[in-house]
Structure 1
Amino acid sequence: MKVTRRTVLSATALAAATTLALTACGSGSEPAASSAAKPSSSAPASDATLSVWVDSNRAPVLKEAAAEFTASSGVKVDLVIKDFGKIQEDFLRQVPSGKGPDITIGAHDWLGNLVKNGVVQPVELGDKVNDFQEVTIDAMSYDGKVYGVPYSTENLALLRNTELADKAPESFDDMVKAGKDSGAKYPFLVQVGTEGDPFHMYPFQMSFGTPVFGQNAEGGYDPSKLELGNAGGEKFATWLAKQGKAGLFNTNIDADIAKEKFNAGESPFFITGPWNVEDAQKAGIKLAVDPIPSAGGEPAAPFVGVQGFFVSSKTENLLAASEFLTNYIGTEAVQTKLYEAGKRPPANKAAFEAASQDELVSSFGQVAADGVPMPNIPEMNAVWEFWGVAEADIITGKAKDPVKRWNDMAKQVESAISK
């Protein structure tokens, strides 16, 4: 799945709308999770059938794994190919009526919405939890419980045209200087767009010590601990205004333009994800992947997106579903094949180690290890609504007082979360 701010916004807006719709259909006295039927824990019959939703890119790999699982267990697997962008909506609508699948592919940032609506259940990984990269388990966890089996990571890093810049920049200022010294038209490129792009700005924001949310005792995001308005956020807003005035961040540069200009050799640096690597290589760009340089002194940690598989709270084949996920989908062999299909760093440690023979994959994975999972709590919906617009106002100079505009945004988010 191509991760852009547009993807994030559409997913979170859809999640919010669906949550409201489901709440309206319920009694209103208890959350949907409290009334979810408990699945059977008895051993599955050999003639049982698992229904699994998967997107077209991953379907060939799952077809092979499903055949092996059926041959071993006698349990049939019915693969249903779905448009990834519609899976969350369909899953939320169908599971409560008992018509949904036993297992679905999905993104980790859906998790809070899925849990709140009672449509998924925890997955018991046992000792196999150690088979996966820590950031992927963190992403698939909610309220201290693991709800999915991860298979890949996806995150921003710094693509470098090695013919224009022979080494990784050590800081944001170093990147700008190297970019200007290269003689290229743009010192660096990053998509911003007219509505702002907090997903792509987040590494720089984090380098000023400003996450979106603080954490609870279990290590998850705590919506009561909004960090956007802290002192680091004010420094980030001031810095952002300065970069906008200097023309280094430009709301006229959207995803397509940034990609086009980099692939044309008009900049040595491009802050983007693995989804743009193949086209850059086809354009003849000799690439290296580096960490995003810090602007504020602290590490420029990007959001990490994790994809995996969830188990329906209504499944009548829990043991079969768990067996298929943990002993097939979660294995090194299958996750290696999923990597070969999607070119995203595997969640399974051994599979990642094998994939790391590709230097670009290894580098993206190393950046992910230092990143932070995109918040999977429903309250994140309120953040996206105000966040990007505020950044765009600051970059363009529409906001005459960047600190005030930033703090007003933080207050808007806090008010929306408290409703």
Structure 2
Amino acid sequence: MKNKNQKRIRNRAWAWIVTAGLTIGSLTGCGSQTVEQTAQGEKTDGEVTITIWHDKEDAVTQVLEEEFAQLEPQIHVVLEKKSDLTEALKMVGNDPKAAPDMYFFAHDKIGVYAEMDILSPITDIIPAEELDAYMDNTIEAATYKGTVYQLPIYYETLLFMYNRLYMKDEEVPATTEELYAYMQENTRGGHYGFVEQHSTPYYAAGWINGFGGYILNDAGEPGLNLPETEEALAYHKKFVDLMPGETEYATVNTLFKEGMAHATIAGPWLIPTVRESGMDVGIASMPVIDETGKPIAPYMGVQGVQVLKNAAENKKDAVEQVLRVLMKDEVGIALAQASGCAPARENCYSYEEVNGDEVVMAMKETAENAVPMPNLPEMDVMWTVASGLLTDVNMAGNDVAESAEKAQKEALQLIESMK
């Protein structure tokens, strides 16, 4: 019976790994080209094609296409959009007939592909000292087991946003208790003082991190039953009780966009939508948690380029030239202007086009306390287990300690079965 249970757990773990994959990158775009249709890079008359898989919006790819045009005709860069990028990479690995040369995606899947042994260290192509030009936390996010596997391009964090029609600048809460008081006063008649996706781990992580807890640490250990994590869940619950029961992405954003919620914590991708609706949206610092004296510390997602081994070995010169285009300050500046991306290169913030952008600078401020999303393979399991814990506590109203202990045990079993 024990062997059957272990097998069942192991199968369940790997099933989740195949289907899981919550990342900031997965919130954008869709593509339908199949793996078999991939344009493959091959040398013809001295020319090289570099294929890059991505999931980015048009504003980002347009900037990249313009920059890559300078490499023509010797190097032709194909940007291929894929909605199922993470699963497609697991399927094709380093197959030269099907795999891309590089992929542009969030950093949190690095560990999965590094363990598959399909990635080339960036420092095999770009000298390590040249990475000193990047923000430390972006390089931290790009590093797995001491090796840098991603060239960071830009990063994203959640932001505290408010509708100036209801919440005036002088009313913006500096602390979570001030936020709670505002919610108590303004949650009535179909209106909410504040809403968020409270039972989604990516959003709840900010509260957990602010208490000193964690979903998964750098050693791959879950922390769902830590005293700090349990304290965060218990404290956060009183805010949840003043929010709508339905907290899916579309529901929360619609409430804010239509003026039924005065404030929210959401990604920068929401800002163009609410501005188009005519909202005078304000952006503020994350409230400081009164219990700890630390601000809500959301996850930070770093978007960048990873190189597959086959390309590094067979097209190294062309790959380096592509990477060096992406290392230019001009690329970070253009992306900030085109899509509100916060550049990973420190020097970009000396330009007015960047330091004058309210959204970009708000993300830079939030990033000072943000925690890079774990890039370990174990995190694929943790998204699912943590989601179950949040549902038990926030939606079902179950005991925090009992729910956390149950979730921690489940996480440990699933992680063990991955070995």
Structure 1 and Structure 2 fold alike (TM over 0.5): yes
- Residue 154 of structure 1 aligns to a residue whose secondary structure is strand
Unpaired runs of at least 5, structure 2: 1-12, 21-43
How large is the Cα RMSD of the aligned pairs? 2.6
- Does the aligned pair in 2 maintain the 1:149–1:310 contact within 8 Å? yes
| Larger deviation, residues 90-99 vs 254-263 | 90-99
- Residue 140 of structure 2 aligns to a residue whose secondary structure is helix
- Give me the whole-angstrom Cα distance separating, in 1, the residues matched to 2:19 and 2:310: 18
Q: Which residue of 2 aligns with 1:417?
A: 415
Letter in 1 for 2:333: T
**Residue in structure 2 matching 1:285, options 279, 283, 287:** 279
**Residue in structure 2 matching 1:174, options 166, 175, 178:** 178
CA apart distance, 1:204: 1.1
- Give me the whole-angstrom Cα distance separating, in 2, the residues matched to 1:14 and 1:102: 27
- Does the aligned pair in 2 maintain the 1:208–1:235 contact within 8 Å? yes
Give the count of matched residue pairs: 366
**Residue in structure 1 matching 2:194, options 188, 192, 214:** 188
Distance 1:294 1:201, change over 3 A: farther
Letter in 2 for 1:138: E
- Give me the whole-angstrom Cα distance separating, in 2, the residues matched to 1:174 and 1:310: 42
Matches within 5 A, 1:6-405: 16-17=17-18, 46-55=46-55, 57=58, 58-70=60-72, 75-83=74-82, 85-99=83-97, 100-124=99-123, 125=126, 126-163=128-165, 164-167=167-170, 168-181=172-185, 185-192=191-198, 196-214=199-217, 221-223=218-220, 225-244=221-240, 247-295=241-289, 296-297=291-292, 298-315=294-311, 316-325=314-323, 327-354=324-351, 355-399=354-398, 401-405=399-403
Q: TM-score, normalised by structure 1?
A: 0.80
Distance 1:338 1:46, change over 3 A: farther
1:164-204 deviation per Cα after TM superposition (whole angstroms, max 9, x unaligned): 23233121110122344457721211124xxx311111111
- Does the aligned pair in 1 maintain the 2:133–2:345 contact within 8 Å? yes
- Residue 306 of structure 2 aligns to a residue whose secondary structure is strand
Distance 1:14 1:348, change over 3 A: farther
- Does the aligned pair in 2 maintain the 1:191–1:197 contact within 8 Å? yes
- Residue 189 of structure 1 aligns to a residue whose secondary structure is coil
- Does the aligned pair in 2 maintain the 1:243–1:395 contact within 8 Å? no
1:92-126 deviation per Cα after TM superposition (whole angstroms, max 9, x unaligned): 33343222222221211110111111111101243
- Give me the whole-angstrom Cα distance separating, in 2, the residues matched to 1:115 and 1:384: 20
CA apart distance, 1:13: 8.2
Distance 1:366 1:279, change over 3 A: same
Q: TM-score, normalised by structure 2?
A: 0.80
1:291-348 deviation per Cα after TM superposition (whole angstroms, max 9, x unaligned): 32243413321001111111111111123212321x2112111222233333221212
- Does the aligned pair in 1 maintain the 2:206–2:298 contact within 8 Å? yes
- Residue 213 of structure 1 aligns to a residue whose secondary structure is coil
Unpaired runs of at least 5, structure 1: 1-11, 20-43, 215-220
- Residue 282 of structure 2 aligns to a residue whose secondary structure is strand
- Residue 284 of structure 1 aligns to a residue whose secondary structure is coil
Letter in 1 for 2:18: A
